[in-house]
Structure 1
Amino acid sequence: MLTASLHKLARALAKRPAAFVAGATALTAGVWMAQSQLNARRSTLAHAGTGDALRGSQSSPISSSAGDAAARGAALPGLRLRSAAVMIPHPAKEDRGGEDAYFIGDQGTAVGVADGVGGWAEVGVDPGLYSRELMGHAQVACNSVKAGPSAPAEILTLAHAATAARGSCTACILVIEGNELHAANLGDSGFMIVRGDELAFMSPQQQHDFNFPFQIGSPDSMSDFPSAAQRFSLKTYEGDVLVLATDGVFDNVYPDEAVSLVAAQRKRGATPGEAAAALAQFARQRAGDQTHLSPFAYGAQQRGYRFFGGKMDDITALVAYVCPGEGAEAADPPADTPVAQAKL
């Protein structure tokens, strides 16, 4: 029988490091309300997105997990994903590669990100071990799971069952099938669909309580089951840009900023890797800016906490361009595609 002390430990492990316990999340209702205040900055950001200052550089502390940052994806019938990812560890975690992880499937049909729960460090466990092993097993599982609406959840379930490391993490997995995008998202990582210059869809976060995201983990973590993940099936079109990211991005970059940045990168002919680097570097810049009202700070203030500036964290940005596979006849998006914002 679970004791009260074990429940207390589980809740402590579920939260972010103590330095940020007063923080909030990037996708609260308050953040969505704040978007109207940021629209005036969009043209400026779009212009900035073409500058050298936002590009990844060799001197940046960038590392990868479960694959390299080169764009990959074999031609297949129907649409496919041309994907790349960039990770920037928290400065204090560079020596062990941070706590985020990702995978890019070899067939160009599946991608995913995960964020290890930092609280495990307080009991002597490297939080990155679980997320990296989970994503490694997810990369293997995506080759055996049949594409379909349940594919991301099945990949997550198989990867969870195969992961032996101690720890827990949030996770987001996408699978493309024909012109359908299927997703399973658990916790406060997430994904966006950028269509042209607009946000077509953004996944909501899952939280049990304030600063207490859903997560999956080892048996001793008392975490959620993979079946708790929110599932989505959405139409996607050639030319769409998918953005998967951990909360290190979403806690520091507002949705309209991310949309403007990756849209500008795509227009200038940037590769997915260049677009991912631009977004990751922008998030890192904002994380270190203590004069900026970040989404993290805005959410904290909405709940009565005194917090200002960015939130330093591991940052992972994965960008996927939706492209036609061999023999595909990709449909054009409707002329007036409505913007879909997930209900919180």
Structure 2
Amino acid sequence: MAACISSLGYDQYSSNNLDELFNLPRYKRYLDLTSHEVNDQLENHSNKRLKFSHDDEFVNVEKRVVEFSNKEFPCLKIVAGSVYIPKDNPKKPLGEDAHFIHELFQTIGVADGVGGWVKQGIDAGIYARELMKNSHTATYDEAMKGPVNPKRVLEEAYKNTHSKGSSTACIITLNSEKSSIVAANVGDSGFLLIRKGKIIYKSPIQQRGFGCPYQLGNCKDNPSVAHEMELNVEKDDILMVGTDGMLDNMNDSEIEEIVRRAINEKLKPKELAKKIGNIALYNSFDRFADTPYARASKGRHKGGKVDDITVIVAYIQ
């Protein structure tokens, strides 16, 4: 399931509005665990919350925010929205995907628990959710030191995640000063960079063979295998991040067509994420669809792939 951290996007920061900035009691942060109840409108389910606090982390936060507020505010920022659709499985109603959005520190991430662990009675979704929760915490820690480094975020999150199982992971941050996005990817989750309705970059997948992606956790992989990327971005670019439930069921041409319509209709990021998620869901049940998954299987599979679907859309403004 998606561990969707509440997005915090503000244009001004000072010690006087610190509590308002986090919109929470002092020195507390909250992790939104999205519900497994999927309604007809594919709402981003956020009616379940798990509290966690990091009292020690916030001791010097006012000083640091004051220092940040004295600098010129970066030109670019991301405004993001997401949708999560777990596949229908009564034994794992929360699914195996997870994600977070941290607009305050301009960082987003997705994870997809590897389903093969079910043969050992292990729900890999638990690992994915813990990994994303720890990635959110590590993003804050990284931001207090300087620009967020996605690979270091993964390294810190990996070190502190102890659940059984394994997961793919993709962390992306916007470096406003350099007008670039920096990413670290492990496995077959990934992202697209879209400019004026055209996909100009698609992250490569990491896998040892069909259906066997690189993965973090109780396996032989670790963050050292992460593929690191840095790409220049421009105002009005669109960053689309997803697990393989989206990427395996959506052709590039479909995504581009939906994005162009969304631009014309001036849809918000969450609204575009819903449309992409809806089409991915439809294709996943189509036994005759010409999907990336079917082509990659080289005849072993036809149609779509029924899977958990996570989509994050971030507008670069």
Q: TM-score, normalised by structure 1?
A: 0.69
* Structure 1: stretches of 5+ with no match in the other structure: 1-56, 69-74, 324-344
1:91 counterpart SS class: coil
Instruction: Report the equivalent of 2:207.
Output: 207
How far apart in 2 are the matches of 1:223 and 1:64? 33
Q: Amino acid of the residue matched to residue 198 of structure 1?
A: K
How is 1:55-94 mapped onto 2 (pairs within 5 angstroms)? 58-60=39-41, 64=45, 76-92=73-89
Instruction: Report the equivalent of 1:316.
Output: 310
How far apart in 1 are the matches of 2:305 and 2:169? 20
Structure 2 CA distance for partners of 1:184 and 1:121, relative to 1, 3 Å: same
Q: Which structure dedicates a bigger proportion of its chain to strand? A: 2
Alignment pair present for 1:151 and 2:149: yes
Q: 1:187 Cα deviation (Å)?
A: 0.3
Q: 1:79 Cα deviation (Å)?
A: 1.3
Alignment pair present for 1:307 and 2:301: yes
Contact 1:62 1:89 in 2 (8 A): no
- Of structures 1 and 2, the one scoring higher in RCO (CA 8 A, sep 6+) is 1
Number of residue-to-residue matches in the alignment: 255
Contact 1:245 1:318 in 2 (8 A): yes
2:276 counterpart SS class: helix
User: What do you get for the CA RMSD once the two structures are aligned?
Assistant: 2.4
Contact 1:82 1:108 in 2 (8 A): no
Percent sequence identity over aligned pairs: 35
How far apart in 2 are the matches of 1:284 and 1:260? 17
Residue deviations 1:144-168, cap 9 Å, x none? 21454x7000111111111121110
2:154 counterpart SS class: helix
Instruction: Report the equivalent of 1:21.
Output: none
Alignment pair present for 1:160 and 2:197: no
Structure 2 CA distance for partners of 1:76 and 1:92, relative to 1, 3 Å: farther
Q: TM-score, normalised by structure 2?
A: 0.75
How far apart in 2 are the matches of 1:290 and 1:160? 37
Q: Amino acid of the residue matched to residue 314 of structure 2?
A: A
Structure 2 CA distance for partners of 1:67 and 1:152, relative to 1, 3 Å: farther
Instruction: Report the equivalent of 1:104.
Output: 101
Instruction: Report the equivalent of 2:252.
Output: 255
Contact 2:108 2:172 in 1 (8 A): yes
Runs (4 or more) in structure 1 with deviation over 4 Å come to: 60-68
Q: 1:114 Cα deviation (Å)?
A: 0.5
Q: Amino acid of the residue matched to residue 150 of structure 2?
A: P
Q: 1:78 Cα deviation (Å)?
A: 3.0
Q: Amino acid of the residue matched to residue 154 of structure 2?
A: L
